[in-house]
Amino acid sequence: MKSAGNPLPQVSQNELQAMAYSDPLTGLGNRYRLRDKVRLLAAERADDPAPFAICIANLDGFKPINDLFGSEAGDEILCQVAHRLKACMPDGATVTRHDGDEFAFVLPLVFERVGAERIGQMMKDVLSAPYDLGDRNVRLSASFGFAIYPFAGEEFEDLLKSAETALYRSKRRGRAQITVYSTEIAQEMKRATQIEQALRNAIISDAVDVHFQPIVRIRDGVVAGFEALARWRDADLGFVSPAVFVPLAEERGFIDALSDTLLRKAAEAALSWPRELFLSFNLSSAQLMDPGTSSNILSTLSHVGLDPRRVELEITETAVMTSADTAHRIISELRAKGVRISLDDFGTGQSSLGRLRDFTFDKVKIDRAFISRITSDRPSEHIVRAIIAMCQGLDLEVVAEGIEEPADVEMLRALGCGMGQGYHYGRPVDGAATLRYLQDHYHDFMAIERI
């Protein structure tokens, strides 16, 4: 017996095809629409391959906003982005939703790098205006990767890969960047992949080293602790700067493995120091987004046998801001076990005073940009003076980074700065040289009981 209900509506072939080529949230075309547009345009220009451009744009910081305000708010932002992009597209151009918070463009009238950068700047400005979520406004930026046909690829897949490579470079350089693919960029990305593979192997073989730089009491010049700093020399690549390989490990998702190795080595070295000396160790922004970070750190310290109360963890304001709620939980869990928390690079962030109010820190490290000019630049002197006075009022210890001259020490001592670090006191050296440093600089080192 047939149901008496209403019959299901018939969907035409054209409607099915339109659905297959459309993004249901924003109404834009999808990846398939992008592919067909590029292939059609390339076919039209096959006899005389006149250039055109494709672009991929990624919203910076969308995930934390989506996590904070919920998926409905995230969907609303994506719809507003789609509306803005449709409204600002030049004649003949196509905008599609590529994936998640990524959008893609086909730009038939963009022939070279300058034109691509001009379009990218226009879209960047359009997307930087506040997004209305009813009871609140939020701001986002976007990063862009361009690829120009046929120089960056003649097939759709090759052209798309080039645009993704350019976008990846933009993301590596920070927020709101614009990159147009070139062979030089391709080589740069290839080298990054070579470094990544070599670094992964170095971590497995325990070949990444730790050096230590002294942190000294300014009033009497006595060492109070050491900061652990990563060092790596590869047989083929030579010396690779931590400014290169640490961010790379963070970007490519294995910063935890690198950090665990470095912390273990640093903690083992600290066991041979006098008990009252502390070990300072840096955490990355990725680690402050991982709820398992505190347990990993405490487990490593427990396994080595180093008292958590001898450990200070340095974090930057940018890292704290990336995922504030998770960072707050991690900091609270670590401080509950006696680990001290230091705010690094103070004075260079956008909301440093707010961070001091919202988070519980034990120490502040004044960025070297101010210390290096403290004796020659009155604004730098006044900034350092104000930071020291503020920290004294908040009962926070202060470390001045980048001290290189005796005159810097005298100025900081007069200002009441508690601790200092820099080449004036010592360069970073390996564990064995650190012990020799202690024999030369720490009173009765050989007689002090060690853990």
Segment 117-154, tens digit of pLDDT? 999 999 999 999 999 988 888 889 999 999 999 999 99
CATH of domain 192-447: 3.20.20.450
Residue 448's pLDDT band (cuts 50, 70, 90): very low
> Percent of the chain scored above 70 by pLDDT?
92
Residue 442's pLDDT band (cuts 50, 70, 90): confident
Which residue bears the tokens 């120091």? 273
Q: What is the pLDDT of residues 168-216, one digit of tens each?
A: 889 888 789 999 999 999 898 889 899 999 999 999 999 999 999 999 9
Beta bridge partners of 131: 138
Give φ, ψ of 423 to 5 degrees. -65, -25
Tell me what pLDDT residue 450 has. Answer: 44
Which residue bears the tokens 């690549």? 237
Show the tokens assigned to 177.
């960047």
* Contact residues for 8 (Cβ-Cβ < 8 A; gap 6+): none
Q: Are strands 141-149 and 363-366 parallel, antiparallel or unpaired?
A: unpaired
Residue 355 has pLDDT above 80, yes or no: no
Q: Within 13 Å, how many C-alpha atoms sit on residue 55's CB side?
A: 36
Q: Which runs of consecutive H residues, i.e. helices, occur in 151-272?
A: 156-173, 183-204, 242-251, 255-270
Decide: helix, strand or coil at residue 53: strand
Strands (E), 164-222: 178-180, 209-217
Among candidate residues 421, 319, 307, the one with its CA nearest the CA of residue 372: 421
Q: Are 401 and 348 in contact (CB under 8 A)?
A: no
Residue 385 has pLDDT above 70, yes or no: yes
Among candidate residues 147, 83, 84, 145, the one with its CA nearest the CA of residue 110: 147
Q: Are 56 and 144 in contact (CB under 8 A)?
A: yes
Q: What is the pLDDT of residues 282-326, one digit of tens each?
A: 998 889 888 899 999 999 999 999 999 999 999 987 777 767 788
* Contact residues for 91 (Cβ-Cβ < 8 A; gap 6+): 109
Question: Would you call the peptide bond into 108 cis, given omega within 30 degrees of 0 as the criterion?
Answer: no
Provide the residue ranges of all domains of the chain, joining segments of one domain with +: 14-181, 192-447
Residue 47's pLDDT band (cuts 50, 70, 90): confident
Residue 431 has pLDDT above 80, yes or no: yes
Alpha-carbon separation of residue 270 from 128, 209, 263, 273 (angstroms): 47, 14, 10, 5
Show the tokens assigned to 371.
């210390």
Alpha-carbon gap, residue 179 to 144, rounded angstroms: 6
Among candidate residues 204, 202, 198, 209, the one with its CA nearest the CA of residue 265: 209
* Contact residues for 421 (Cβ-Cβ < 8 A; gap 6+): 213, 214, 215, 216, 227, 365, 399, 400, 401, 402, 403
Q: Are 259 and 283 in contact (CB under 8 A)?
A: yes
Classified by CATH at the fold level, domain 14-181 comes out as Alpha-Beta Plaits (3.30.70)
